[in-house]
Structure 1
């Protein structure tokens, strides 16, 4: 029998409505000295600290890259459900890694109801997309810039651009008050310059593994993970578009060979993971 964990892709069972899922996240009590994390697919994540601050990274909550407003599926249409509709997203901080629409999704951003209450931060080429969507106050951020919001230290990190359409990619390190540190790679091509993240002593990280559009392959992602040397590595950007998916077990195998001291971990949809 094939182990369930290696079946990919597999159908996602809808556990909550959009409003129910967001309410579940809002009500979820994060244990002391822990950070909770949920995946929404692609590079979309929600994190919540013990103080109750909720962060969204690259919320891709429509089918912009595929059917746009037509509703007609294409090869770029999402194979995952929309876990949270843009109107239902209730977070305190929104971080955008770059301007590509599966990260800075115009349709998600224009439908947000938190435009005036949440804190938005993005690199240069993504800022105009947020402002066009009606988000007036956006912090322009740069690699190695560090700032603090609601007790969370945020540092911009370098990412290698994957094509000429955006030369301003970034990642982020989040340093929580409990001492835990999380790194999100964003989209990046392979470069040894990513080793600069090693100095942050990362507890857990997520990294793109699918290789399409010049992103890291699962093998390259494992090599970069070895340079950064976190305790835990999570595959990202592998599960959204039918022509650009990658079984995450390939990353697990590559990680076992290139970074055997790093624990592989994959988040389950709808379920909080604690770090």
Structure 2
């Protein structure tokens, strides 16, 4: 398979990835339409107006929530607002009352408050493997947003998801740093595409209450047996991002995984039957 960047939104029935900004993706598997961690509002800018880290967007949303087509499933990795956003999820639940939202069981009460009392929530925990829709298998992974945090019942607060539909396998780590056992778990799942956050981490941000993610080199190392790495969690907030030129530079010198930088407004079309050509940061083979 290969990833091919084309302008516009994904087409129903045609496998592809559309970056919604931050950690959000609209995923077309070919048989299912899945949203994960969509943040399409200004919830955080309103919450932190006037603060040092004001959470103003660096770019407008690539689509308005009211213009989203009906998804088959929505996945939420954790309760930080740029992942579990009331300004995005509640309107979706209001438009599509039977739409299922897969959420961490450890934060189900928060999800109920933000998405809606009548929302169709599917609480899950790491280690579960199930079929939320016919032909779509979901594997729930733990994640460590600085730490492997659990609630009082022992359930993981931060999650990742493995999506399997037909021959296509996609892994979204959620917000995470490396932790013991993750490498083996990813190897066992054997994704075609790894969606990993690369905003990095440091003591300054942690002291300001901003937990960290993979550094770019850590994401590359984790995905070393995966055909494609799509980095994300950059370009949203100026105080917590990565220079995208670093992704371009890494893509030029990394044969595997092929690093494909997503771009707002473009679909990474998943084309079967080709693997092996090294791809640049936006999916264009190097000459």
With the shorter chain as reference, the TM-score category is 0.7 to 0.9
2:259 to 259, 264, 269: 264
Gaps in structure 2 of 5+ consecutive residues: 1-6, 202-210, 271-287
Deviation of the 1:41 alpha carbon: 0.6
The 3 A distance-change label for structure 1 pair 252 and 82 is closer
1:87 to 63, 66, 85: 66
- Relative contact order, CA 8 A, sep 6+: which one is greater? 2
The aligned counterpart of 1:240 is 236
Deviation of the 1:106 alpha carbon: 2.0
**1:18-46 Cα distance to aligned partner (Å, 9 max, x none):** xxx7xx54xx2544xxx211001100000
Please state if 1:59 is matched with 2:38: yes
Note if contact 2:13-2:30 (Cα within 8 Å) is conserved in structure 1: yes
TM alignment of 1:187-202, pairs within 5 A: 187-195=175-183, 196-202=185-191
The 3 A distance-change label for structure 1 pair 252 and 142 is farther
Tell me the number of residue pairs that the alignment of Structure 1 and Structure 2 aligns: 244
TM-score, structure 2 as length reference: 0.76
Mapped partners of 2:262, 2:237: distance in 1: 18
Note if contact 1:231-1:263 (Cα within 8 Å) is conserved in structure 2: yes
**1:86-106 Cα distance to aligned partner (Å, 9 max, x none):** 333321100000111110012
Note if contact 2:38-2:83 (Cα within 8 Å) is conserved in structure 1: yes
Note if contact 2:144-2:177 (Cα within 8 Å) is conserved in structure 1: yes
The aligned counterpart of 1:180 is 168
Mapped partners of 1:115, 1:162: distance in 2: 34
Note if contact 2:12-2:33 (Cα within 8 Å) is conserved in structure 1: no
The aligned counterpart of 2:134 is 150
TM-score, structure 1 as length reference: 0.79
The aligned counterpart of 2:218 is 220
The aligned counterpart of 1:250 is 246
RMSD (CA atoms):
2.7
**1:102-136 Cα distance to aligned partner (Å, 9 max, x none):** 10012222222345121210112332232113153
